[in-house]
Chain A
Amino acid sequence: MRLQSTGDGVSADQTPRRTADNARTGIMRQVLLKPTVGPLIVLLLFCAVFSLATHTFLAAGNLSLVVQQSVIVGTLAIGQTMIILTAGVDLANGGIAVLGTIVAGRLVAEQQNPALFSLLFALILCTGFGMVAGLLVSRLTLPPFIVTLGLLGIITAITRLVAHGGAFPVTDDLLAWPGNAFAVGDASITYGMVIMFGLYLLVWYLLTQTAWGRHIYAIGNNREAARLVGIPVQSRLLSVYTFAGLLYGIGSWLALGRIPNADPNALQNANLDSITAVVIGGTSLFGGRGSLWGTLIGTLIVAVLRNGLTLTGIDPLWQDLVTGILVISAVALDQVSKRKQR
């Protein structure tokens, strides 16, 4: 017997009333229940308020600047979204990206290696660290929080070892390419922004239109049920963490493009910033629910807030305050709607 979800769980003679009722309440609720609508409303609200407060906010140059400033955390947040969808969390994403910048920078600057080789080496290294985390989480079923926390410490130590000293400039053309921009009217679009949007489209497609994506959501929703149903949980988890590692490697390239300086002190808070973006964007920390576009909106909300506060000259403490309130409200809403669905 197929428990098909056409909504017709009851007998046919009630169909006319059901349709009318659905027409009256269904669309509104369906729209509001989509996890991205809330964050989108908040983003538009902030944009509206700041455009009213100062004439400098709504300039095309400023709006493109805000997106530029979101590129690095936005890319790291893609990997974070995938991992959180599997009911995990990744505290090492910033650390992996920084190691990538230092390694690529060192290879190019000091040892005169060709830039492409250095970049690929850094990408493979970051993917490798992602794979290590994935193996520990999937094969040994260690909690992702602890695994990535420990990995962060190890990576930080390795980064300091490789950097041996402070930050250094990285002036290679290929490594700095994502920072190059072309003008569209008054707006300045960097290639890094294009890459970020491309990655969002790619991962959105993978998450929503492929079986792999369905498996990810299922694993996050109920790992044991997913296993019983025949989903290869271990290999899916490994693939998620490894793919996330690759995304962090690309993030390190984008970081070098934005600021051509390899700095072991960089991206220290990127792990928490990416988690904030994911949570504000409506993805459930408990896994199984959420949309990748929500993460993009969450990243933009944080960036718009910081930019707007500087343009209006308001004390930056408001940024921390409002961000904290948004995070708590997002989690609260998620909890209530989960309870409703049970």
Chain B
Amino acid sequence: MRIATETPVMFYDAAACGAGARDKLPTSQRTTSERGSWRSYRRIAIALLATVSAATLFVGASTVANAAGDEILIGLVTKTEVNPYFVKLRQAAAAEAEKQGAKLIARFGKFDGDNEGQVAAVEDLISAGVKGILITPNNSTGMLGVIKKARDKGILVIALDTATDPADAVDATLATDNFEAGLLQGQYARKALDDKTPKLAMLDGTPGGSVDVQRHDGFLKGFGLKEGDPAIVGKQITHGAQDQGQTAMENLLTAHPDINVVYTVNEPAAEGAYAAIKARGKLNDIVLTSIDGGRLGVQYVNAGKIAATVMQFPKIMATRGVDYVVDYAKTGKKPSGFINTGASLITDKPFSDLPSKDTKWGLENCWG
């Protein structure tokens, strides 16, 4: 029994003896290899410390050099960094801020749906002393607490492109009226179909997304159908992605080969749908419509891949947002409510009673 209690202590000490005891021997008694590796350890540590210090000091110094004393700080927090829509939004905002002599600090979520990253970014921006914050919230209910904190500090908060829930949690919302966009798309699709009996396929976005729901409902209103009408032969979810759009269209065409009109929630989904339709050789039988108005999308309309698309104006959202913040900083005037940045039908096959613009105008005014 005594062995069992003594052995662990012995063992620990043996292990310690191997490591720590040798440390306590004077330098002259340590082996050359031990001294050598302590030297290399110290050298690496010092080198790393020096590199990190140099890097951080360089970065810090360049900021101090660039910082002006009293310029207006504006914060912009987009959903993600890489989505080209938000890249254009950010660039437009930065350009407008520079024009107005303000400084834009742009942050973003790590992925589509990252709420915490956006919350932390807004908190940091409040600390930084921004006069206004422009956000495209990943989660319409997740940012309410931090938005309130910002507004309590007298910071103007404007939602861009996506509304919060409730919408009056922010001072104002600058967005496309997505219902109106869907409506234009539906009206065009109905006219393009002429007097054929409609067999409609709907490629939706992300379930529960407010933008997705509004476009869907707007389309049906513009087309003249109610939800559940037998003319709607199929609905699929695409999350606004090209690959899912293609799979969805393929499945729908297999189930209902007589589809003659397609609603898509955005242009990546439409591109996927186009590939599926082309593979089936049904290009002449189907009217394909979409929303977004990016350069690629307008080029598709130009090339005849999509019959029509509805353009959004994120650049207007960005520039107007920056202008509102600068105005607020200078005069204290706040915008309010929902401000529609507009939606425009783009097609090369227009109808006289439906206002639209052609692809030439589209390419000049598109984002991206």
Residues of A participating in the B interface, judged by any CB pair closer than 8 Å: 2-5, 7, 9-10, 14, 17-18, 21-22, 25-26, 29-30, 32-33, 38, 41-42, 45-46, 49-50, 52-54, 56, 59, 61-62, 65, 68-69, 72, 165-169, 179, 214, 218, 221-222, 225, 229-231, 259-261, 263, 265-269, 306-307, 310-314, 316, 318, 322, 325-326, 329, 332-333, 336-337, 339-341
Interface size counted on chain B using CB atoms at 8 A = 73
Q: A312 touching B127 by the CB < 8 A rule? A: no
Interface residue from A59, A69, A263 paired with B120 (Cβ < 8 Å): A69
Contact of B45 with A310 in the complex, beta carbons under 8 Å = no
Give the secondary structure class of B's interface.
Answer: helix
Further contacts, 4 of them, CB under 8 A, given A69-B123, A312-B63:
A38-B49, A46-B56, A167-B139, A263-B115
Q: Is the CB of A312 within 8 A of B27?
A: no
Cβ-defined contact, A5 with B113, below 8 A? no
> Which of B40, B49, B114, B127 is in CB contact (< 8 Å) with A311?
B127
* Binding site secondary structure of chain A: helix
Q: A5-B21, A59-B127, A336-B41 are in contact. Are A263 and B142 (CB under 8 A)?
A: yes
Instruction: Chain B residues near A316: list those with CB within 8 A.
Output: 107-108
The answer, yes or no, to whether B98 is at the interface (CB within 8 Å) is no
B331 within 8 A of A: no
Query: Of A4, A17, A38, which is within 8 A of B45 by CB?
Result: A38
Residue B279 at the A interface, CB < 8 A?
A: no
Known: A22-B26, A69-B123, A333-B48. A53 touches B142 (CB 8 A): no
Nearest B residue (CB) for A312: B63
- The list of the 8 closest CB pairs from A to B, nearest first, reads A7-B24, A21-B26, A310-B124, A265-B113, A261-B142, A340-B37, A53-B60, A49-B60
Q: Which residues of chain B have C-beta atoms less than 8 A from A325's C-beta?
A: 51-52, 55
What are the residues of chain A within 8 A of B114 when measuring CB–CB? 265, 268
Q: What mask results when residues 221 to 249 of chain B are scored 1 for a CB within 8 Å of chain A, else 0?
A: 00000000000000000000000000000
Chain B, residue nearest A231 (CB): B8
Closest to A26 in B: B24
Task: Please measure, in the bound complex, the distance between the C-alpha atom of A55 and the C-alpha atom of B22, giving whole angstroms.
Answer: 48
- The answer to whether residues A18 and B25 also contact, given A5-B16, A266-B115 and a CB cut-off of 8 A, is yes
Could you tell me if B63 and A53 are in contact, using CB atoms closer than 8 angstroms?
A: yes
